[in-house]
Amino acid sequence: MEIVTVPCLTDNYAYLVKGPSGVVLIDAPEAAPIVDALEAHGWGLSDLLITHHHHDHVGGVDALRARYGCTVTGPRAEADKMPALDHPVQGGDRFDAGGVAVEVIHVPGHTLGHVAFHMPDADAVFTADSLMALGCGRIFEGTAPMMWDSLSKLAALSPDTMVYSGHEYTASNAKFALTVEPGNKALILRSHEIAKARTEERPTAACKLSEELATNPFLRPDSPEIRDLLGMQSASDADVFAEIRARKDRF
């Protein structure tokens, strides 16, 4: 399966997945760059999967559906907040899109109905604004314990899974991560690699889950260095996560 990253708006990403029987789009921030990418590859569009209701993830849905007649799938819990869904889904559901098996993971926190789309045969999960490269989404509608539970679900996937997130926030996330775990050698190396990639205008929002587990502070509340720096040596992982998220909000 071929996966194509499509930059949209200012810092959003959409993703195209070429499956055996069709092409699947994950999120539609705007139509024009997605149409351009499809035409450049000579592809149509069979399925459009929406992760959550925010406008910068659904702004191009109606135009793409009108152009390609694609099936639109998204979270049932947010159906009243987004363009009409042909296929409402919820956590635990499994379905086929473009000949690709898709598992729905409910990952509330950023929004209450946010879902991630896991494609196990492609070793890929599309997480939008839940788990992000070296970060996680702001908690707009949920709670910190809710977001921690969501991230824990994603962290339990195979470490070989590629994580495709929704925004080019990685450089700023790296700067923050170094403030809470400055001695993490893998993080230091990754921050240098990210800086080089962004200088070359290469996307950095996709990476292996194993790399996230080694460097993303939001997945590392058990890190002794983080706990010592925060003065939370005996706190629960959920409480340490909440403090990291609160510090990122002020960063």
100: β partners? 97
Q: Is 56 annotated as a binding residue?
A: yes
Handedness of CA 242, 167, 209, 71 (dihedral sign): positive
Q: Is 87 annotated as a binding residue?
A: no
Q: Is 110 annotated as a binding residue?
A: yes
Instruction: Find out whether 75 and 99 touch, Cβ atoms under 8 Å.
Output: no
Helix, strand, or coil (residue 25): strand
CA distance 56 to 13: 10
CA distance 29 to 128: 11
Instruction: Give the contacts of 39 (CB within 8 A, at least 6 positions apart).
Output: none
Enzyme catalytic residues = 52, 54, 56-57, 110, 129, 167
Q: What DSSP string runs through 96-151?
A: EETTEEEEEEE--SSSTT-EEEEEGGGTEEEEETSEETTEE---SSS-HHHHHHHH
Task: Enter the DSSP assignment of 70.
Answer: P
Residue ranges at the known binding site for Zn(2+):
52, 54, 56-57, 110, 129, 167
Residue ranges at the known binding site:
52, 54, 56-57, 110, 129, 167
